[in-house]
Amino acid sequence: MADKKSEIKKPTKMNAVNMANVSVTDAQQPKFPIWFGIAMTIGPLVWLGPAGAVRNTLLPQYFSQIDPSGKVQAIAVLATVTSVVAAIANVVFGALSDLTRSRMGKRKPWILFGSLIQNGLIVLVANLTSIWSIVIVWGIVAAAENAVASSMVAQQADRIAPKWRGTVSTFWALGYTANNITGIIAAQYLGNVKLGMYVLAGMGMVLGILHVLLTNEKSNVNEPREPFNWKTIWEHFAFPTAGSHDYWFAVAGKFCSNMGGMLIGTYLLYILTDYIKMNQGQAGKMMAMYSTITLIGGLIFNAISGPIADKMGRLKLPVAVSVAIMGIAQLFPFFDAAPWTIYVFAIVSSIASGIYGAVDGALNLAVLPNKETAGKDMGFLNLSNTLSQIAAAWVASGVVLTFGYKAIFPAAFLLSLAGAILTWRIKAVR
């Protein structure tokens, strides 16, 4: 008779994983799928690359040309309208991709056609001269952008084993950080906004095609179809409830963390021109340098943080600490309205963002309640990103108009601190 004590296994990382959200086990995937990882690196450049660079750099410049006195309010309105659309689109398209059965698979159709619509409409925006028409069209851009994003993120839950979550999150984060390249590109076109939009739209379309080729998603027409009834609709479109304690702390932590970062990012151009007192040429060079610093620092810490997190079996700790560090970085410009504080902010925040970006995605996967609704549940997680855009734009606008640009920095610090505390409240993940 075997010794019963020998049958008791020590806890491992896999034992600690919520198997309800695992589609591929560690045993089924002994090696990391490198081509899928490369596709994930390209991923953010497909949707956030062109849309983010246009929204954050070229549209503020375009608005300042169309209506200089109303540019701050225009950015707030743009962020609100498009973020509301994006918030809905993220969940809806995530759920629809969960339910999709096609020869192209469940995620590929939404990624491919979403990219086509997004980048085609960016070209249209380049030819509009009314702020209101731009806001309306950009709302559709945001819907397409989030159709792509929600489907891309859900692929990680579909295709990656738990032991590789930190690593695939690193590949994704490398692409996310590489988006600073699009910021550098956009900054070169502040004097020719239309051409800049054309360049970014073309880049997004080409990379979208490359992404779907590398992921090589197979047909899923033989996968069981969900019956179309109220139970299916509820499961695939409603807020997750069962086993979702940690999930909602992750959502809340992400909301506060991203909002803190966006307070500064949304108005960076105006901070440089109206707070630091730079002219347009100086601001363009500073934004390019800022993007370069955050790119290099982010890439370095993206590359090392995910694999280290996998080896250590820790996800919550590096996410919470990196958000706290980001908050500290956001305080530097508060003490001196000088270019050196922006450089310090860029360097410290690039380290924090690199760690956060590489590990936060793995933490998100670890707290998903159910693998069958991964697209929808990731959509609600991404909802915190879009809702934080709404809140950040209006809070930043209110802070600037009431207290001036200087007050943005302590406000961002407090939000980041709240994000770190909420993330630390997650219990089942270390």
Written as tens digits, the pLDDT of the chain (430 aa) is 444 443 333 434 433 455 555 578 778 889 999 999 999 999 999 999 999 999 988 999 999 898 887 777 888 888 888 778 887 888 899 889 988 999 999 999 999 999 999 999 999 999 998 888 999 999 999 999 999 999 998 998 889 988 888 889 889 988 887 787 888 899 899 999 999 999 999 999 999 999 999 999 999 998 888 777 777 777 777 777 667 789 999 999 999 999 998 888 878 888 999 999 998 888 888 988 888 898 888 889 988 998 888 888 788 999 999 999 999 999 999 999 899 999 999 999 999 988 998 899 889 888 888 776 777 888 888 778 777 877 887 888 888 889 989 999 999 999 999 999 999 999 878 7
Measured in whole angstroms, the distance separating CA 424 from the mean position of its chain's CA atoms is 20
Helix (H) or strand (E) holding 375: helix 374-403
CA distance to 24, 25, 61, 374, 378, per residue, from 371 (Å):
10, 12, 42, 5, 10
Helix (H) or strand (E) holding 156: helix 131-159
Q: Which domains does the chain have, with CATH numbers?
A: 34-424 (1.20.1250.20)
Residue 22 has a pLDDT of 57
Q: Are 349 and 265 in contact (CB under 8 A)?
A: no
- The widest CA-to-CA distance across the chain, in whole angstroms, is 84
Residue 4 has a pLDDT of 40
Residue 240 has a pLDDT of 77
Q: What is the DSSP letter of 58?
A: I
Cα distance between residue 202 and residue 118, in whole Å: 11
Q: Which alpha helices (DSSP H) does 240-373 contain, by range?
A: 245-266, 268-270, 280-312, 316-329, 332-335, 339-366
Cα distance between residue 330 and residue 231, in whole Å: 46
Q: Are 174 and 355 in contact (CB under 8 A)?
A: no
Cα distance between residue 18 and residue 212, in whole Å: 29
Residue 8 has a pLDDT of 37
The amino acid sitting at 329 is A
Taking each helix axis from N to C terminus, what angle separates 374-403 and 245-266, rounded to the nearest 10 degrees?
40
CA angle 419, 325, 287 (to 5 degrees): 100
Q: Are 96 and 379 in contact (CB under 8 A)?
A: no
**pTM higher than 0.85:** no
Instruction: Of 378, 385, 388, give the one whose Cα is nearest residue 110.
Output: 378
Residue 227 has a pLDDT of 76
CA angle 200, 347, 42 (to 5 degrees): 35
User: Which string of DSSP letters, residue by residue, matches 73-132?
Assistant: HHHHHHHHHHHHHHHHHHHHHHHHHHH---TT-SSHHHHHHHHHHHHHHHHHHTT---HH
Residue 87 has a pLDDT of 77
Residue 1 has a pLDDT of 42
- Residue 276's contacts (CB-CB under 8 Å, 6 or more residues apart) are 286, 333, 337, 338, 339, 342
Residue 323 has a pLDDT of 96
CB atoms within 10 A of CB 302: 28
Cα distance between residue 22 and residue 58, in whole Å: 41
Q: Which two tokens stand for residue 290?
A: 């800022």
Residue 265 has a pLDDT of 81
Residue 411 has a pLDDT of 94
Q: Are 289 and 295 in contact (CB under 8 A)?
A: no
CA angle 357, 266, 52 (to 5 degrees): 60
